Amino acid sequence: MTTRLAAQAGCHAGVGAAGEVGLLRLPDRFVLGIGLGHEQWAGRIDGGFASTDRVVLCFGSVQHA
């Protein structure tokens, strides 16, 4: 469902590059994150931010017509 909705919004599948948006898997939940490049991702957690390499889905920038 997420992939279909992202495509309808004009997003394309990502490759893990800096600036892409991804769904990150943390030990106890999922969070939205931003690609830092080199297969690293940053996401908001209670009290700050954390980085991880556990991305579930990622999307590149919106394609403009």
Strand-pair partners of 59: 13, 21
In 7-63, which ranges are E strands?
Answer: 11-13, 21-25, 30-37, 40-45, 48-52, 55-62
Q: What is the pLDDT of residue 50?
A: 73
* pLDDT block averages, 10 residues each, the chain of length 65: 72 76 80 84 79 73 50
Q: What is the pLDDT of residue 27?
A: 79
pTM: 0.63
